[in-house]
Amino acid sequence: MESELVEITEGSTKLLVPKESLVGKTPPKEPAFFNPRAKISRDFSIIAYAAFLKNFKGPKTFLDSLSGIGARSIRVANELSEIEQVFVNDVNPKALEIAEDISKLNNVTKCVFSENEACRFLSLHSRRDQRGAIVDVDPFGSPSRYLDCAIRATFHGGLLSVTATDLTVLHGLFPAACKRKYHGIPVRAEYGNEIALRLILGCLSQVAGRLDVKIEPLFAQNNMHYYKTYAKILVRTGGEDDIGYILNCKSCGNRHATKEIKRECDKCRSKAELAGPLWTGSLYDKDFIDEMILKEEHLETDKSCKKILEKCRGETGMPPTYFTIDELAHMKRCAPISLAKTIEKIQKAGFRASATSLNPAAFKTDAPIDSILSII
Ligand SMILES: C[S@@+](CC[C@H](N)C(=O)[O-])C[C@H]1O[C@@H](n2cnc3c(N)ncnc32)[C@H](O)[C@@H]1O
Ligand SMILES: [Zn+2]
């Protein structure tokens, strides 16, 4: 049965989407997959790619390895004038048919369409002169099976963006599956979304290491069940990667990054949990975030993007975990005080503290847990 297509606008691009994808909670995979709720994720991609292209010197090509109906790639082709060529690939021929119609609807002529398995598509782009300036991997569930091919298909100095939606795995419901897919295990903690992003980057960094390149994270973002990381792929020049563990103590709330495997909390001596190996370095590059904030002004993206980016800027250089005001209130057995007040009090006590883009009711600080509890 032919599915009805409906015209909607995302950013400044007209999209034709299967009518069924606009109703109900989970969009159907047939005839082609489109999730209207991933708009913010695509908005952030448009901003990040615009910021990246500003300083990229090679051929400005974009490889969309799992394009669906091309919502991301045709937006890139239509909304970023600096992009030169966009490769739109999916295994679903119906999705590609719709993608071609969308490109015609927007008078976009920079797109090349292909129907290939994603790894095959990426492998076809692994020769130096065929690689993408920007490569995107946006699968159903885990991206881990595509990472090798995706890194090989990314220009040295190019940008690789990777989405993961396998929440149950990344949030610790299935630790064995997480270890298999991401080479690290999570802990179940209030800041589970940050651990998830760090596991994706940790895995990416380990795969990059095998291929003699390295990653430099520029931006990371989570909304709903979408986890997306943006990392530069660079020639390896030696040095150690920012890979380690996060120690989490359920007894006293202590949490911090560590290079060593420790099983005991250094504050209260209780048995502690360890997440990792994962990425313990920065999730954001401050100059890149500044450029994203500048680019956002001129793009048709959601208003909330700017607020999130400003929080990202404020938290660069902060430790790799956060505290929620609710968990602290629970530990103190009192009503939570406001986030702004909490941050102000910690700063007044001489520590660094900032809001975090990853949770509207949480903050980052270099103050240890015992100091935080006595300050608030
Ligand atoms: C989450 S959707 C992509 C959504 C799209 N990037 C967007 O922003 O709207 C995943 C897509 O991957 C395609 N797909 C699944 N397995 C694939 C494979 N092994 N190779 C290529 N495409 C695949 C599906 O047909 C589906 O369109
Ligand atoms: Zn402890």
User: Which of the listed residues 15, 16, 67, 226 should we mutate to test ligand 1's pocket, taking the one with most ligand atoms within 8 A of CB?
Assistant: 67
237 pLDDT higher than 90: no
Range 5-240 classified under CATH 3.40.50.720: no
pLDDT class of 149 with cuts at 50, 70, 90: very high
Domain extents in the chain: 5-240, 308-376
User: In this structure, which residue's CA is closest to atom 10 in ligand 1?
Assistant: 139
pLDDT tens for 180-192 read: 999 999 999 999 9
Pocket flag, ligand 1, residue 95 (CB < 6 Å) = yes
Q: Output the 3-class SS for the chain.
A: CCCCEEEEEECCEEEEEEHHHHCCCCCCCCCCCCCHHHHHHHHHHHHHHHHHHHHCCCCCEEEECCCCCCHHHHHHHHHCCCCCEEEEECCCHHHHHHHHHHHHHCCCCCEEEECCCHHHHHHHCCCHHHCEEEEEECCCCCCHHHHHHHHHCEEEEEEEEEEECCHHHHCCCCHHHHHHHHCCECCCCCCHHHHHHHHHHHHHHHHHHHCCEEEEEEEEEEECCEEEEEEEEEECCCCCCCEEEEEECCCCCCEEEECCCCCECCCCCCECEEEEEEECCCCCCHHHHHHHHHHHCCCCCCCHHHHHHHHHHHCCCCCCCCEEHHHHHHHHCCCCCCHHHHHHHHHHCCCCEEEECCEEEEEEECCCHHHHHHHC
1 pLDDT higher than 80: no
Would you state the pLDDT for residue 94?
Answer: 97
pLDDT greater at residue 135 or residue 240: 135
On the question of a common fold for 5-240 and 308-376, the answer reads: no
Pocket flag, ligand 1, residue 138 (CB < 6 Å) = yes
Q: Which ligand is nearest to the CA of 266?
A: 2
The CATH number corresponding to 308-376 among 3.20.20.150, 3.30.56.70, 3.40.50.12240, 3.40.140.10 equals 3.30.56.70
Pocket flag, ligand 1, residue 68 (CB < 6 Å) = yes
Ligand 1 atom nearest 34 alpha carbon: 9
Residues 6+ apart with CB under 8 A from 125: 63, 87, 131, 132, 135, 153
Would you state the pLDDT for residue 240?
Answer: 82
Question: Letter for the amino acid at 238?
Answer: G
pLDDT tens for 84-138 read: 999 999 999 999 999 999 999 999 999 999 999 999 999 999 999 999 999 999 9
pLDDT tens for 262-313 read: 999 999 999 999 999 999 999 999 999 999 999 999 999 999 999 999 999 9
Would you state the pLDDT for residue 116?
Answer: 98
User: In this structure, which residue's CA is closest to atom 6 in ligand 1?
Assistant: 67
Would you state the pLDDT for residue 106?
Answer: 98
Would you state the pLDDT for residue 2?
Answer: 64
Question: Letter for the amino acid at 322?
Answer: Y
Kindly state the average pLDDT of the residues 27-34: 94
Would you state the pLDDT for residue 345?
Answer: 97
Pair of tokens at residue 370: 């015992």
pLDDT class of 366 with cuts at 50, 70, 90: very high
Instruction: Round to whole Å and give the CA distance between 263 and 261.
Output: 7
Encode burial over 322-336: b for 16+ CB neighbours within 10 A, e otherwise: bbbbebbeeeeeeeb
Would you state the pLDDT for residue 48?
Answer: 98
Ligand 1 atom nearest 163 alpha carbon: 1
Instruction: Round to whole Å and give the CA distance between 125 and 238.
Output: 26
Going from the Cα of 167 to the center of ligand 2, the distance in angstroms, rounded, reads 27
pLDDT class of 236 with cuts at 50, 70, 90: confident
Pocket flag, ligand 1, residue 93 (CB < 6 Å) = no
Going from the Cα of 375 to the center of ligand 1, the distance in angstroms, rounded, reads 49
14 pLDDT higher than 80: yes
